[in-house]
Amino acid sequence: MRINKYIAQSGLCSRRKADEYVLNGNVRVNGQIMREPGYDVLPDDRVEVNGRQVEADEKPVYYLLNKPVGYITTMKDEQGRPSVADLIGDIDERVFPVGRLDGNTSGALILTNDGHIAYRLSHPKMLVYKTYRAMVKGVLSKEKEVRLRKGIDIGGYITKPARTAVLEQRPGSATVEISITEGRYHQVRKMFKAVGCPVQTLERISVGEIRLGRLKEGTFRKLTPKEIEWLKSL
């Protein structure tokens, strides 16, 4: 969200007056004077006008993005890499991604400005299953499935129980769906590696009852009333 709109939505003044504040050096972002009227306020920015912190009074919004491989799950990348912010330019509200998807993982990513819902979706104690479809090397035997389901050591940490379903087993690879309630760094990849079946491709196909469906890669949609109702029931 542009800084003039952000300040105006805080109820402090109009957008035109907000532009004046910016140009006159009365606005600070994260402690630094901001004189760029076109600056887009980020989710973790602290905005002050004449020494007073302001926050936009936004209505909660909820979107689902099908993140492609190669995009970083952040709204700003200091290394200049492609990020999800590059895919959601048509969203007027200031939103942020809920949780993370690795750069080499595609699929369902929820974006919102509702911090309460974001916390509930992300916290393991809420037991919200995130389901992934993985293509892995080797044979995923019943024994290996049991190990994944019960919890497995991924380097000093035992994962919580998972759900698995082998969709197709080929001579040298398998397609499998796995559902977990955690979100540790590279967790799914580490789990399959621990049973000797390293991941070749990985896609998150659902977050709880919110499913990717036929949403095209690189595009997003608003959540349906039913999906929002489910979020608020957590």
pTM of the entire predicted model: 0.78
> What residues pair up with 221 in beta bridges, in sequence order?
64
Do 45 and 68 fall within a single domain?
no
Q: How many domains does the chain have?
A: 3
By residue range, what is the domain housing residue 143?
129-207
Q: Which residues are catalytic?
A: 102
Per-residue pLDDT of the chain (234 residues), as tens digits, is 789 888 888 878 888 899 999 999 999 999 999 999 889 888 788 999 999 999 877 788 999 999 999 999 988 888 889 999 999 988 877 788 998 899 999 999 999 988 888 888 988 788 899 999 999 999 999 999 999 999 999 999 999 999 999 999 999 999 999 999 998 899 999 999 999 999 999 999 999 999 999 999 999 999 999 999 999 998
CATH number where 24 lies: 3.10.290.10
Distance CA(35)–CA(38), nearest Å, equals 9
Which residues lie closer than 8 Å to 2 by C-beta, 6 or more apart?
A: 37, 38, 39, 40, 41
Residue 197 maps to a domain:
yes
